Chain A
Amino acid sequence: MTPPAALVPAMPHLLAGDPAPSWAELAAATRTVGDRLRAARVDTVLLLSTQWFTVLGHQVQCDDRLRGRRTDENWYAYDYGHLDHDLAVDVELAHAWADAIDAAGMQARRTRYDGFPVDTGSVVASRLLDPDGRGRWAQVSCNLYADPSAMAEVAAAGVRAASGLGRRPGVVAVSGLSSGLTPRWIRPSEDRVEPEHDRWNRKVLDAIAAGDRDAVLGMREEFAAAAQADSQFRAVAFLAGGGAVDRPGEVLAYGPVWGTGAAVVWWNEQET
């Protein structure tokens, strides 16, 4: 069985008390993904957030409880810049995932430190996907210095580890699409994606919706260069490694978040 998977946005604006229409749509779509993950009886979500970016090895979160408040270093002046969080980590799966990364010839780094700062993307996604806080998570970092294809191997290792433990995993990548972040303070109603980036985002999403894996992965590098894609769109490599992308993805929402492109995409689980 190929696990269900999703791409969800990373920006905290989705939690705004007075959101732009696109922020509200993206938030609602992310909640829908959470509903579907629960309907699919997912035990643990394998989570990659590009906002937990690292440079040495692949860090796997091994703390059993990530509880606290994050004050975002950029958005602190807004309500959505103050993010309470409480994530339950599937520690057994986290260790198995780290072991699988090592076994695949990569370098896993087991992370368990009091006061570890959970990134904004992980907090936003977890609050929308799991508003009741009943879910379990296994988190890996996004190594910006490793080849993007490494993220596919990392995800595949996670799925193997989950299977080995008899877990039903879901695979979720928390990432934006294009950059083009608006470099000034704006009102929500002013939010838009610049046309060239919008064209690229739609091109990528069309290929995802068509289930054209080769096209999606083939355009990743060009997309990254042309639209300054979030973390060179390593998210799609992670999703591909988790078994998504080679079947049609359902684009639940797409829109701007402070000038960046953001989308919610869902892939049903599939018999293999």
Chain B
Amino acid sequence: MARVFHVTAGSGRSAARRAPRHEPAPGPAAVPAGPSGGGGIVAGYLAPHPPHLVYAENPPQNEPRSTGGWEVLRWGYEELRRRLKAHRPDVLVVHAPHWITMVGHHVNCVPNPRGVSVEPIFPHLFRYHYDFRTDVDLAEAIVDEGARAGLVTSALREEGVRVDYATIGALHLANPDWDLPVVSLSANNNPYYYSDASLAEMETLGAATRRAIERTGRRAVLLASNSLSHLHWDTEPELPEDMGVERPFDHAQYAGDMALLQTIREGPTSRLKEAVPAHIEATSSETKAGSLTWLLAAMGWPAIAGDVLAYGTVIATGNAVVEWVP
């Protein structure tokens, strides 16, 4: 097991350079959407993206066929789907760690991304035909608000960029009908240069996302496309969905996940400001990519508990489906 995902983000100097140039003033708490259908963030979900979950489901968009597997996590997603529809959102906003951008936070502003996403890491599991609509107005508003907050941002308008599996995975698993517009945000981190996202920047990006949602009057559901503990095997069984070999990497990884999930279940979310970095340190959690911090910051760190819908491992990584409703 390599330690590539254990290292601190950049050198001290580069980390300092990556901090926001302007610390934004504390913003107001998120405006909850009213029952009459007003704008705002109506729910946030921790929505892990292992391609195995899409593969196991055998949707028509994905070329490989499976015999199933990882059912408990997929049942959790079934409940998420039911709840998501009840929230009647206008748009899904997803932050995903595998659209890796070296410079800044990018937002997909292509009106109709479509193509085949052959995943270079898991091409035997994920060759997904995607075709969805972007809420371009909201996407551009997030770019604008992020830039106003001092972040380096970029609006992707090029048609040819392949959409990554973490974006597609979370969106498919949350809404396989693809009947809602989407805004997709990149992760400004890089496993082969510097590893971790700046969580301070993710706070800023979250607040900018919230302002953009409020400015545009959307009813938005946010998806943080992150797994939890992230040490995993470096080989694979002959049958990828062989559940006979699926288990946590070790007890420490499992215990770290349970400690975080207990904090989530107890609430309030403000406790996660300390718990998330500690969990990253203990388990190399994929939340180091910043998606969960972005989500909770966008929701204004509400004084509520999260509802854990499912937990399970995928090639030994920990994954939880969690809902927060402000």
Residues on A facing B (Cβ under 8 Å): 50-57, 59, 69, 71-74, 76-77, 81-82, 107, 109, 111, 113-117, 119, 141, 143-148, 176, 179-185, 194, 196-197, 224-228, 230-232, 258-260
Contact = CB atoms under 8 A, between A and B. Distances in A.
Contact of B100 (A56, A59, A74, A109): A74
B325 interface: no
For chain B, which range describes its interface: under 10, 10 to 19, 20 to 34, or 35 or more residues?
Answer: 35 or more
B102 A228 contact: no
B103 interface: yes
A107 B186 CA distance: 31
Contact of B123 (A53, A113, A197): A113
Contact of A180 (B10, B195, B234): B10
B118 A116 contact: yes
B269 to A, nearest CB: 28
A56 B2 contact: no
Interface string B230-243: 00111110000000
Contacts of A119: 120
Contacts of A225: 7
A145 B2 contact: yes
Interface of A is mostly: loop
Contact of A183 (B14, B99, B232, B235): B14
B10 A55 contact: no
Contact of A145 (B1, B10, B154, B193): B1
A40 B161 CA distance: 37
B194 A181 contact: yes
B193 A117 contact: no
Contact of A115 (B17, B101, B118): B118
27 contacts: A52-B120, A55-B234, A73-B101, A74-B101, A109-B236, A113-B127, A114-B118, A119-B120, A144-B192, A145-B232, A145-B233, A176-B193, A179-B190, A179-B193, A180-B11, A180-B14, A181-B193, A183-B18, A183-B104, A184-B152, A194-B13, A228-B11, A228-B193, A228-B194, A228-B195, A258-B102, A258-B103
B86 interface: no
Given A54-B120, A183-B14, A228-B11, 15 more contacts: A53-B191, A55-B121, A73-B106, A74-B100, A76-B160, A116-B118, A141-B120, A144-B5, A145-B1, A145-B234, A146-B234, A180-B11, A181-B14, A181-B103, A258-B102
A73 B234 contact: no
Contacts of B124: 109
Contacts of B13: 180, 194, 196
A208 B116 CA distance: 42
* For the complex of A and B, 6 pairs with smallest distance between CB atoms: A71-B160, A179-B193, A145-B234, A76-B158, A107-B235, A56-B236
A50 B234 CA distance: 16
A251 B18 CA distance: 31
A77 B118 contact: no
Given A56-B233, A119-B120, A179-B193, A73 B161 contact: yes
B4 interface: yes
B162 interface: yes
A261 to B, nearest CB: 11
A142 B5 CA distance: 14
B122 interface: yes
B123 A116 contact: yes
B11 A227 contact: yes
Of B4, B102, B124, B161, chain A has the most CB atoms within 10 Å of the CB of: B102
A229 B7 CA distance: 11
